[in-house]
Structure 1
Amino acid sequence: MRKKIIIGLCMLIASSGLFAQSKKFDVKDIDIPYKKFVLDNGLTVLIHEDHKAPVVAVNIWYHVGSKNEKPGKTGFAHLFEHLMFNGSEHHKTDYFKAVDKIGATDMNGTTSNDRTNYFETVPTSAFDQVLWLESDRMGYMVNAIDQKTLDEQRGVVQNEKRQGENTPYGRTEDAICKATYPAGHPYSWTVIGSMDDLSAASLDDVKEWFKTYYGPNNAVLVVAGDVKTEEALEKVKKYFGGLQAGPPVTKFTSWPAKRIGTQREVMQDRVPQSRLYMVWNMPEDGSKDANMLDIASSVLAGGKTSRLYKRLVYTDQIASNVYAWAGTNEIGGQFEIVATAKPGVELSKIEAVINEEMEKFLKEGPTEQEMEKVKAKTYSYFVQGFERVGGFGGKSDILATYQTYHNNPDYYKVVLQQQMDATPADVKKVANEWLTDGVYILNVVPFTDPKPTTADADRSKLPELNTPPTPTFPSFQRATLSNGLNIILAERHAIPALNMELQFNAGTAADILAKPGTAKLFGSVLDEGTKTRSSMEISEEMEMLGSSMGAGSGLDRSYLYLNTLKGNLDKSLEVFTDVLLNPTFPQKEFDRLRKDQLVSIKQEQARPNSIAFRVVPQFLYGSGHPYSNPLTGSGNESSVSSITRDDLVKFYNDWITPNNATLIVVGDITMGELKPKLEAAFKGWKKGTNPKKHIPSVALPAKPTIYFVNRPQAQQSVVMAANLAPEANKLNDAAADLANSIIGGEFTSRINMNIREDKHWSYGAGSGIYETAAQQPFFVSTSVQSDKTKETIQEIEKELTGYVGSNPATAEEFANNQNNKLLQIPGTYETGDAVLNTISRMVANNLKDTYPQDNAKNLKSAKLADIHQAAKAIIKPAQLTWVIVGDKDKVLDSVKSLGYEVKLVDADGKPATE
């Protein structure tokens, strides 16, 4: 039957060379002759001739496994392996029915974290038929998959999962994956996936999976057996050569996720005996360290004569069995020891013995005798695999393994040679590097059904909330230094630390008087060197003080930031002012960071969401407006390429003056303490004459326009709708915040519940107001499946139009969001950094000093009518600017059918042609 994965080839072959200096075994005697070819469509073909029997093995490895999945979409690789056996477009019956008629042996399909393979060994008379069948399901599967087949195989896989988890210790694999890898790591879920993800898998999902990963350019085909190479190649070309290549595939090459510390977990399960699992993360397949750790696993618990087995099972007789292995996958592996306790034996006793033996092993390493014993056993297993052309561990499997993972079918020789050359010292060294820290310990203990208890709480309704705390914002003081620098201080004495932001009225909006991208690059280079300190010296000095410092630019402001302990304020302030007053913008650092910014632009131009935020400002504000450059602040390639160090010096001289700045300080200090320190620190800083940023008001367009950015082969479309809203200081900010929350600012908002929860077209959809000192962009943004691009535009337009018209915010929506936001306020100002950010917003957006208190009052006193009024002020459905980033060939015609003017632009917003 089809199985998720059999621990055999990948684990035993990838970790198979247990060789040290030995006269008995020679890697030179091991060879699988082959010829390698790559077809025009990218299919890699390996052909090995073996004429001892009239059979031929066909083994196809697709370089896709569970690690190619994403959280929320797990189990796809294994589910699709099942679907591949249900017939293709030109062979619409079960695959087994075809091969059962032709004398196939070693026939199966398996899925691992890293690959999916399909293989069969058949008489040579069936060679053509097998190639036809395999090529048909490689090239012609999409239209053969229907809802009935998907539902059927989904049920099969879910029952397989239930069956596995229903067996004793069957839930440990899931627990180990989740505990030992960080969230998002491609090995943090099991190959079989989650039940919910499998239930949610749609027909479109599995078809996209096939289109993405099952192309010939992502596959290796091995033919091994009684064939002639040239004849076999011609047959392969005949059946596979006309298949279309798939899209490029991105993959991790290494992510072992080495851990530190000890992590313990106890699992109750209906098992007869307690069991101990000890797991360490280790390097990836084929690495020398992994090969050495495989030797260590065999010495420790690789059989009855191994150290742990003899001690636990034979000598102390406290365990019924124990085993260990170094399981390797493509980007990382795990070293695991598993011991099952005899009845009545505490797992702590078994763990103590394992630790004792491990300590001895790590101190002394393996003996020569132990290594020779392990080598002989593994060499024998490996050589015996050479007898078979197909099946697990056969020659076709070996060639496919190393071609897929290492792009070299002969790589098994490298692995074997490393292991043959290994010494006890080598194994000891690597074991000490990976097995002395970072262990995860899982105790599985028998579960006893508890007796029911009487409920002591009313479960018919939620308890009432207590009286919410009164929101407060710390008071702050203002002062002015003799050089004109404005100071704002908010005292917070909870911890002996301070946060400081020196804010300048500049920002990326100042690029209108420079080259786009200058302000951002200025922020990157400012703290990279002074007249007396290099970039590294600045970093080292701040680290020694336990302080941190950074510079940057937002849309309306540029800033220099400092976080420091109060006891180190003087020394930290010395470095801070040196960076501020004596920057040298070193050419070396400038060149490096300008290259980084150019790379960042390339990345933004490749990311659909970033593209939208790059281009939308120029369509909202118009060319030449201070806010018309990309919201990322990175500029464009031509402008950034032309920026020189002198441009940063000019930016510094123009804008970095005390009379154009405000220093915001939050923390454990009084104004009486602070002001003298600042007067001394900034005494050499002189006033200057600053350019004036003129930010004109912009009229909204007379009608909607759609700007379309082509992204070939995009699986989703980014849909963004935007219009300009009034300045922050001209809005009732509380009412505007509530209005936005209801329509798109919260998970439960109308737009998200429509696009994501009801329609299932997107992972998420929402709206927001991008804060600026002048007119602010209101925008709605989402990424949706390509075939729902037009419909998404219509749904967003319908939601916005109704919200400011016939379907305004309801009393229930208003009450729920108002209450939520009121209850959030106390937590909003919990940290000094949060207080600093609020004051920084107030300064940048020209808000009143009483803004925090006024906003809380306005929020509490808001009426439903205020929400309606705010919604109409910020949302203009008839004057929207739309940005769509998607596959032109898939969606442009349907978008045009909406009747709006559609303009094609590139990733920088410049006109593009169809």
Structure 2
Amino acid sequence: MRPLLLPLLVAALSGCAAFTAQTTDSPRPSPAVEIPSLDIPYQAFTLDNGLRVVIHEDHKAPIVAVNLWYHVGSKDETPGKTGFAHLFEHLMFNGSEHYDDEFFRPLENVGATGLNGTTNVDRTNYYGTVPSGALDLVLWLESDRMGHLLGAITQDKLDEQREVVKNEKRQRANQPYGQVWERIAAATYPQGHPYSWSTIGSMADLEAASLDDVHAWFRRYYGPNNATLVIAGDVDTEQALARVRHYFGGIEPGPAVSRRTQWIAPMQAPKRERMVDDVPQHRIYKVWNIPGLDTRAASELNLLSDVLGSGKNSRLYQRLVYEDQIATDVSAGIWPKELGSQFIMTATVQPGGDPAAVEAAMTEELSRLLADGPRSDELSRVRTRVTAGFIRGAERVGGSSGKSGILARSAVFGGSPDAYKRYLDVLENATPQDLREVGQQWLDAGVYTLVVEPKASLAATTDDPVDRSQLPTPGTPPDLRLPTVQTTTLANGIEVLLAQRSAVPLVEVRMLFDAGYAADQSARPGTASMTMAMLDEGTATRDALGLSAELDRLGARLSAGANLDQCRVSLSALTPQLPAALDIMSDVLRNPAFPPDELARMKPRWLASIAQEKTRPNSLAFRLLPPLLYGQDHAYAQPLTGSGTEASIAALTREELQQFHRSWIRPERATLVVVGDIDMATLKPMLERRFGDWTVDAPAAPPKTLNTVATPQHPRVFLIDRPGAEQSVVLGGQLVPRRGDIDEAALRAMNALFGGNFTARLNMNLREDKGWAYGASSFVPDTAAQRPFILFAPVQTDRTADAMLEMLREARAFGGSAPVTSDELSVAKNGLTLELPGSNETSRQVAGTLSESVRFGLDPRWYEQFVSRVQALDTSTIDRLARRLITPDRMTWVVIGDLARIEPEVRALNLGPVQRLDADGKVIASP
């Protein structure tokens, strides 16, 4: 039951998949030595009651192996009734109606070897090897417990085996690192996933199992139609088949078993936990959820894992154990499972070593392997070793790695007894490029890291001079101390703000324009972003590559982009190179060419990016919410991503980009922000020379429509279908006043308390208390007009409606029945003020702060004044603001998830009108 990281055959057979060979241009490395092919001849039959029978003749020795597999494991259990599959493994060794005694006795008496039974997440098997003359004895016993078991399962036997299993569970948990696998199962799969509990089950479920529960479980899963019987060895096929029909043919089939075929549940973001255990060394586990064993990807990832962490020549061993000597053992492999496997790396830290250094080395080696792929010689070495191990195991007829095990596993999980050949095909033909690509696809950021720490590492020593009875009290918070802002105006009216800082010879320059995504109201959606993206793709005198080379030569960086309210061009240059860098910036701003060939190259990438946004629930939600909040006629009725739509980008022309540039990227809409190692006397002439004579002989665009939007009179719910999604993205949105119309310090404190901080109420509820979400938050995106106040929670699918109720409950109680406490407000105040010095450390950060001041028409000293405003807040101010602003019963909800699973429950909440939308925000009919 405890997974091994696939030492030879188990790894090999993990890829018994119904796939077709891929074609590739990469050359296939030749094996280090010539490896013979492997074929296990067999004949397969199906009895009338559904029992699959596979027979292989091997007459090298007078023995026969019997391997009986039931296609049932812990994944077929349900929450509250876990551990049944493993419990039955015990009960089925405990006697049947016609032989009510331990099954080991008669088999041991005839010289059985390799006799055992095992249960994992996907199957239960019973196997053993006996002299050829004892085949009838084995078939009799197996058929008796298949067809005649229930009469022998009494309450006493159930109680007895229940205690045996509970003690087995305790014994496992009591071993070093023995609790790891339960923690990994729970942490790497969503609640309710059939792999989210351990095969051995929970103590509570085992204790609660009744005799009726056990009988019902047996009737459902242990019939002949859910079983595969393999006989391999010194037998005659026809005679053996006749004996099988004799013993098994009269057993009635059980009900048809329906089952999932896939539920990979890849983790959406990094997740990290620590566990303190009675162990001698730190150990680090890294786990990714990958495709199931019935896939080519799993077979290829298994090969990749061997390159990474199997044997002394593996990369992990060479780096961590042999060269750096920071770990005592390492491994990498896959845990093959039917619905979705797991790729697992482990390293045990050298006693007294640095776990962070070990983890960094693990990550580096994996990253290097994914970036370059395995070398041909590495793959050849692994190919030879694994193939040889597979053949070595297949020399036997019994056991998991023997021929009977190979045929049984192939039949159950690969659909055919010879499915192992498909794995051997991958083993022979996979290329380094194949392994690199599959690794990059699946070994991404969705990784779970578990660090197991020795208890001793946390124990206080007697000579520790530090008082660890309480946390130290922080000192007096430092002042923000932003540099003094100087202002001037160029000849054409462009305002200049300079914050001089001389710590390093670097200058940051930002040209800001009152435009942004909101300006797309008078153009096609996405025009603003595309215009800015095309600025550095060439000018009248510089092509894109030449421009990039010139910037590199100067050590300068130039970028262009947009947000909802502004377009900007940013320059970072060393002080001595600033004049030449400003020449380029001026050329880009004033003379963009919008080359047709560059536009043609950019469009496909842009369209692909939009498609990706629409397939990512988070970005899709932020595409759809703004028009619902603001209405179609508002300038903010744009996707918050600013990327536009497929139709608008496909139709966008060079002439439209030029027109947008003439209408919006012009000096009367501009402000220059400069921060760094330069004084105004030196700076102004430089700017006058490049920008002071800039004029645009074309009419400006009309003002953006930023009308005040009324709050809806009732809640609204919009649903977007993501079939098969294992998580729902829930957004609740409403509008709050613009800056200047509200106490900004109070608003930020209110949001920090409600959902802006990790310890905020929303996150503590949905993540820490309920465990339904990786994180939940609220935020107020900065805009020049009314701003959205958004509640956001990606939650597990089966808790979608429950999470919405909790979000509503928190919103209704905040500032009312659950007023803000002094302790909460103190934490929020510190978070809002103490972070300011650190977030304004660099010239680039200060330039960002000043850019915000320009965007919202603030005094440049606003952020310094902000500290005193926050410190003056009291709880009653926050409570009043929350009651005024948060209107949960007039909120607009957007929910993206598997509607087949969540829509009925969401509708049953009766929050208000419910409509379905497609990925473009168009209303569609509900089925």
Q: TM-score, normalised by structure 1?
A: 0.67
* Residue in structure 1 matched with residue 192 of structure 2 by the alignment: 204
Deviation by residue 1:217-246 (Cα, 9 ceiling, x = unmatched):
xxx9998655799999xx9xx999863444
Query: What is the 5 A alignment of 1:103-114?
Result: 107=116
Q: Quick one: structure 1 residues 476 and 394, their matched pair in 2 at CA, closer, same or farther if it must change by over 3 Å?
A: farther
Q: Is the 8 A contact 2:484 2:499 kept in 1?
A: yes
Deviation by residue 1:433-457 (Cα, 9 ceiling, x = unmatched):
xxxxxxxxxxx99x99999635645
* Residue in structure 1 matched with residue 699 of structure 2 by the alignment: 689
Q: Is the 8 A contact 2:334 2:343 kept in 1?
A: yes
Which of the numbers 475, 478, 486 marks the counterpart of 1:469?
478
* Residue in structure 2 matched with residue 86 of structure 1 by the alignment: 84
Deviation by residue 1:310-357 (Cα, 9 ceiling, x = unmatched):
xxxxxxxxx9xx9999966599899999999xxxxxxxxxxxxxxxxx
Pair 1:785-2:796 in alignment? yes
RMSD: 5.9
* Residue in structure 2 matched with residue 827 of structure 1 by the alignment: 838
Q: Quick one: structure 1 residues 20 and 594, their matched pair in 2 at CA, closer, same or farther if it must change by over 3 Å?
A: closer
Consecutive unaligned residues of structure 1, counting only runs of 5 or more, are 38-44, 65-75, 135-147, 167-189, 253-266, 276-282, 303-307, 310-318, 341-364, 423-443
SS in 1 for 2:794: strand
Measured in 2, the distance between the counterparts of 1:116 and 1:106 equals 20
Measured in 2, the distance between the counterparts of 1:451 and 1:761 equals 35
Query: What is the 5 A alignment of 1:769-784?
Result: 769-784=780-795
Q: Quick one: structure 1 residues 85 and 507, their matched pair in 2 at CA, closer, same or farther if it must change by over 3 Å?
A: same
**Aligned residue pairs, count:** 753
* Residue in structure 2 matched with residue 885 of structure 1 by the alignment: 896
SS in 1 for 2:84: coil
Q: Is the 8 A contact 1:161 1:192 kept in 2?
A: no
* Residue in structure 2 matched with residue 142 of structure 1 by the alignment: none
Which of the numbers 750, 754, 757 marks the counterpart of 2:765?
754
Q: Quick one: structure 1 residues 380 and 651, their matched pair in 2 at CA, closer, same or farther if it must change by over 3 Å?
A: closer
Measured in 2, the distance between the counterparts of 1:737 and 1:11 equals 54
Pair 1:909-2:882 in alignment? no
Q: TM-score, normalised by structure 2?
A: 0.66
Which of the numbers 561, 567, 570 marks the counterpart of 1:552?
561
Deviation by residue 1:548-572 (Cα, 9 ceiling, x = unmatched):
3322221111122222332333343
Measured in 1, the distance between the counterparts of 2:390 and 2:600 equals 56
Q: Is the 8 A contact 2:309 2:332 kept in 1?
A: no
Query: What is the 5 A alignment of 1:203-602?
Result: 204-206=192-194, 225=231, 243-247=258-262, 249=264, 297=313, 379=388, 382-383=391-392, 385-388=394-397, 390-392=399-401, 394=403, 396-397=405-406, 409-410=420-421, 453-454=462-463, 456=465, 458-602=467-611
Q: Is the 8 A contact 1:58 1:390 kept in 2?
A: no
Measured in 1, the distance between the counterparts of 2:328 and 2:876 equals 70
Measured in 1, the distance between the counterparts of 2:163 and 2:665 equals 65
Q: Quick one: structure 1 residues 478 and 240, their matched pair in 2 at CA, closer, same or farther if it must change by over 3 Å?
A: farther
Measured in 2, the distance between the counterparts of 1:668 and 1:157 equals 66
Consecutive unaligned residues of structure 2, counting only runs of 5 or more, are 16-27, 46-51, 97-101, 129-134, 147-159, 200-220, 268-276, 284-298, 336-341, 352-374, 433-452
Q: Quick one: structure 1 residues 96 and 576, their matched pair in 2 at CA, closer, same or farther if it must change by over 3 Å?
A: farther
Measured in 2, the distance between the counterparts of 1:268 and 1:756 equals 28
Q: Is the 8 A contact 2:85 2:124 kept in 1?
A: no
Q: Is the 8 A contact 2:732 2:790 kept in 1?
A: yes
Q: Is the 8 A contact 1:297 1:325 kept in 2?
A: no
* Residue in structure 1 matched with residue 294 of structure 2 by the alignment: none
Q: Is the 8 A contact 1:109 1:119 kept in 2?
A: yes
Deviation by residue 1:807-840 (Cα, 9 ceiling, x = unmatched):
4323333233223433223223122222111111
* Residue in structure 2 matched with residue 175 of structure 1 by the alignment: none
Offset, 1:771 = 0.9
Q: Quick one: structure 1 residues 724 and 158, their matched pair in 2 at CA, closer, same or farther if it must change by over 3 Å?
A: farther
Q: Is the 8 A contact 2:69 2:227 kept in 1?
A: yes
Measured in 2, the distance between the counterparts of 1:905 and 1:880 equals 17
* Residue in structure 2 matched with residue 313 of structure 1 by the alignment: none
Q: Is the 8 A contact 2:89 2:124 kept in 1?
A: no
Measured in 1, the distance between the counterparts of 2:229 and 2:506 equals 68
Deviation by residue 1:790-821 (Cα, 9 ceiling, x = unmatched):
33333333332333444432333323322343
* Residue in structure 2 matched with residue 262 of structure 1 by the alignment: none
Q: Quick one: structure 1 residues 161 and 696, their matched pair in 2 at CA, closer, same or farther if it must change by over 3 Å?
A: same
Kindly provide the amino acid, as one letter, of the partner of residue 611 in structure 1. L
Which of the numbers 724, 738, 757 marks the counterpart of 2:735?
724
* Residue in structure 1 matched with residue 746 of structure 2 by the alignment: 735
SS in 2 for 1:729: coil
Measured in 1, the distance between the counterparts of 2:900 and 2:677 equals 60
Deviation by residue 1:339-394 (Cα, 9 ceiling, x = unmatched):
99xxxxxxxxxxxxxxxxxxxxxxxx9x9xxx99x989985883462343651264
Q: Quick one: structure 1 residues 59 and 598, their matched pair in 2 at CA, closer, same or farther if it must change by over 3 Å?
A: farther
Kindly provide the amino acid, as one letter, of the partner of residue 243 in structure 1. S
Q: Quick one: structure 1 residues 14 and 704, their matched pair in 2 at CA, closer, same or farther if it must change by over 3 Å?
A: closer
Offset, 1:492 = 1.8
SS in 2 for 1:392: coil
Offset, 1:514 = 0.9
Pair 1:659-2:659 in alignment? no
Q: Is the 8 A contact 2:230 2:407 kept in 1?
A: no
Offset, 1:606 = 2.6
Offset, 1:82 = 15
Kindly provide the amino acid, as one letter, of the partner of residue 808 in structure 2. E
Pair 1:712-2:700 in alignment? no
Which of the numbers 640, 644, 649 marks the counterpart of 1:640?
649
Q: Quick one: structure 1 residues 284 and 377, their matched pair in 2 at CA, closer, same or farther if it must change by over 3 Å?
A: closer
Q: Quick one: structure 1 residues 534 and 221, their matched pair in 2 at CA, closer, same or farther if it must change by over 3 Å?
A: farther
Offset, 1:742 = 1.6
SS in 1 for 2:639: coil
Deviation by residue 1:500-556 (Cα, 9 ceiling, x = unmatched):
222211111111111112222333333223344443444444344443332222111
Q: Is the 8 A contact 2:177 2:279 kept in 1?
A: no
**Identity score, percent:** 28
* Residue in structure 1 matched with residue 437 of structure 2 by the alignment: none
Deviation larger for 869-878 or 650-659: 869-878
Measured in 1, the distance between the counterparts of 2:643 and 2:162 equals 46
SS in 2 for 1:883: strand
Q: Quick one: structure 1 residues 295 and 794, their matched pair in 2 at CA, closer, same or farther if it must change by over 3 Å?
A: closer
Measured in 1, the distance between the counterparts of 2:617 and 2:140 equals 44
Q: Is the 8 A contact 1:566 1:668 kept in 2?
A: yes
Q: Is the 8 A contact 2:12 2:423 kept in 1?
A: no
SS in 1 for 2:793: strand
Measured in 2, the distance between the counterparts of 1:610 and 1:323 equals 43
SS in 1 for 2:605: helix
